[in-house]
Structures are given as C-alpha cells and as structure tokens.
Structure 1
Amino acid sequence: MSLVKVKNKFQVTIPAEIREAANIKEGDILEVVFQDKTIVFKPKVVLDRESAEASIAEGLKDYREGRIFGPFDSIKGFKAALSKA
C-alpha cells in the first residue's frame, strides 16, 4: 500500500511503483472519477480531431473502393486473408 499526501492546490504525487505498473508517463492524460467512495485515475488517450477525421475518411474511402477483407467465418480464414495482403 502506498500513501500520498495532498499538497498545495490539492496536488498528489503518484508513487513510482504505481506509475510504472500503470505505464503512466509525464504529460499523460488521466480521467479522475469518484466511484464507490474511491478516487480512481484512468489513463486516457486523446485524439486530435483533425487527424482522427482524416483516418476515418481514409478508411471509408477504402471501404467504398472495395479495399476491404471479411467478414470471416473463422480465425483460419482471417489469417489466410492476412497472408494474401
């Protein structure tokens, strides 16, 4: 069990062993929620809207132009399609 002290401006330091286990790096975004009388920090990924929209548009273009695989009836069929790609 790790104990932390609430400091000025309600800041806390996440202990190194917890950061390492959760793979939290400086600059990461964490969601903080209060559930069942417990404070929970959840690592989050933030996507840039412009690049996300570009990726979605590219995927839709591939779909419209027939550059898709599947659906697959089995893992074996999926693996066979990957080896042909």
Structure 2
Amino acid sequence: MLKEKIFSMINELCDSTQKIIFQKHKITSEFLEMYIVITKLPSVNIPRFRVYKGLQYESSISVEYFTIEEDMFEAMVGKVEYND
C-alpha cells in the first residue's frame, strides 16, 4: 500500500514519464515501513531530481517529496569535489 501511494503521487505531480534512478524499501521495526524513490525529472536546462519518501506506521501513511538540482544530487552520492 505504501509503494502504491508513492507512485500515485509521482503520477499526479508529473505529466511526463520520470526516470526512476533509485528505489529502496525498508522495514525498520515491527511497525515502521519506509519507501524511498528518486526520479530524474525531464528538464531542458538544469537537471533536476525529485526525492519521494513514504513512511507507514501501523495504519498511518505519510508521503513527502522535495526537488533538488544536479549539484545537490551529486553531493548526496559523493561526486562533488571540495576544498578543505
């Protein structure tokens, strides 16, 4: 049910097809389930990504999302060069 809620939100927020680049499903305890999906948004000028996070605790479900640009995505996956 959690996965379906996330994909329903993905379909609701974007008319065109988003490329899914990451998915993770995890049950962290007996009552807490987490599902994360990262998609690459179709964009001409600036590559953007959207992160969807769904949590289910017992019968309560919450789904959130936020959009990041390419430099933030690269920082998340460890591809950014930085000076100390």
TM-score by length of 1: 0.27
Q: As a proportion of its length, which structure holds more helix?
A: 1
Q: Normalised by the size of structure 2, how large is the TM-score?
A: 0.27
Q: Which has the higher strand share?
A: 2
Which is greater in Rg? 1
Considering Cα pairs closer than 8 Å and 6+ residues apart, tell me whether 1 or 2 has the greater RCO.
Answer: 2
